[in-house]
Chains A and B, each alone.
Chain A
């Protein structure tokens, strides 16, 4: 899903189960906090096929992330993002990005996604 986005990076180091992990009303991800407006970086999703509906509902309630950067998106994440107009891209070098983010999310860090150019800049 094309699109550019700016925002704080939220790095999640495990697969997200959209049904169960996410509180749609508050845009709250268990153990990680608020996803609203964030650049959500995660390896993939797990569990229920309800995922696309949950992503859609987040967007309708203005609680959605600004973009999703995913190591290996399944059809459910892609479906959810396209339906909800959320920019989404596949991370080509997950190891490097996750190592880097693991260090820098100890404080807050901000990023910019230019999906047309395939670029993700982290400040």
Chain B
């Protein structure tokens, strides 16, 4: 691989042991993938920081990187981590919480600025900016909606790229690799079905970039949910979406598609039916905010909740339910905080910096989950083996408050 003067000096250790090791790993991985050179990134985003996922081995490695003087070279954020607060009185052990907080402290020392899975809501990358991001929904959003360039960096690679300020130039960092390979002629679906459509398309495309034509998004939340679900069932770092992706016309010009999928509304309905199931009774967790809500989305959810509460006819027993709303901590202030505080007595918790999906809800004695996120549904079902139902946000709120245990679909 070609290294410029600065990179040669970095790999020789002139800027410290941590940067040398970080760059060495990136170069080796890049070489194995056929990369010819490195690319400087403007923003790195680290995933895999839940202690419940990476355990002591992960903590040990990050600790050693900090000890060897590792600090970030570029703007760096990280994914949210294990929920520290309790769920209906159940908490993770002191050991788990202690080690999770130790991990966060280490990352703070490395230079991580904030913890959220929607770094694009906090520092939106510019068109054409190179990134080293590791969170799948964020990578898809950056490439597909904002026209920034990022592969899905695996394991500790995004942390190493943050320290080196560079990643290997391959995949979608190279413009010719951003062309779609398959065509999906979509149908217009209800907002509630967008997530399922994303999951369904992900299964069809696998690792290939799709061109998605004929799909309408009524708001940003729908687009976000759709891409998050697409990233759950596929490995593609981007999609080209008609009317959404910057320069989509150029990207699809002259493409001979390997495969064409024509989806009908019936296909979507029968796919969605696979997810219909009964929700078990018991201790319920209602979850909004996967991916994390933006400030506007958060305000809308809290206002909707407050309006329902003000109507004053909540007679159902909330003692066996909690509603979690996860977001970036910078959004929890002013009117948001005021509304959130008023809702605490209804077991509504606005939780910044954390993620329910990586929090092993089964260990918190959650019996069932209701969420508006297909992504959360897919992961929680697999990781925690508890029943999960998906409802549109407004229906979820009503079900939470009025306790009507029925599935939407």
Contacts and interface: CB of A to CB of B under 8 A. Distances in A.
Interface of A: 1, 24, 48-54, 56-57, 60, 73-76, 78-80, 82-83, 90
Given A53-B57, A57-B60, A75 B29 contact: yes
Interface string B32-73: 110000000000000110000111111011000000000000
B21 A83 contact: yes
A9 to B, nearest CB: 23
Interface in B129-178: 154-157, 160
B25 A53 contact: no
A79 B55 contact: no
B57 A75 contact: no
A82 B57 contact: no
Which interface residue of B25, B53, B57, B60 has the most chain A CB atoms within 10 A? B57
A52 B62 CA distance: 12
B28 interface: yes
Question: What is the interface residue range for chain B against chain A?
Answer: 20 to 34
Contact of A76 (B47, B60, B154, B160): B154
A78 B61 contact: no
Q: Which 9 A-B pairs have the closest CB atoms?
A: A57-B57, A53-B57, A53-B58, A52-B155, A82-B25, A49-B155, A82-B28, A56-B61, A75-B29
Given A76-B155, A79-B155, A50 B28 contact: no
A94 B223 CA distance: 44
B24 interface: yes
Given A73-B32, A82-B28, A83-B21, A50 B154 contact: no
B61 A53 contact: yes
A78 B28 contact: yes
A68 to B, nearest CB: 13
23 contacts: A1-B28, A50-B55, A50-B57, A51-B155, A52-B61, A52-B156, A53-B55, A53-B60, A53-B61, A53-B156, A56-B61, A74-B154, A75-B32, A75-B154, A75-B157, A76-B154, A78-B25, A78-B28, A79-B154, A82-B24, A82-B25, A82-B28, A90-B32
A82 to B, nearest CB: 5
Contacts of A74: 154
Contacts of A76: 154-155
A54 B48 contact: no
A53 B54 contact: yes
Nearest to A2: B28
Nearest to A57: B57
Nearest to A81: B28
A61 B28 CA distance: 24
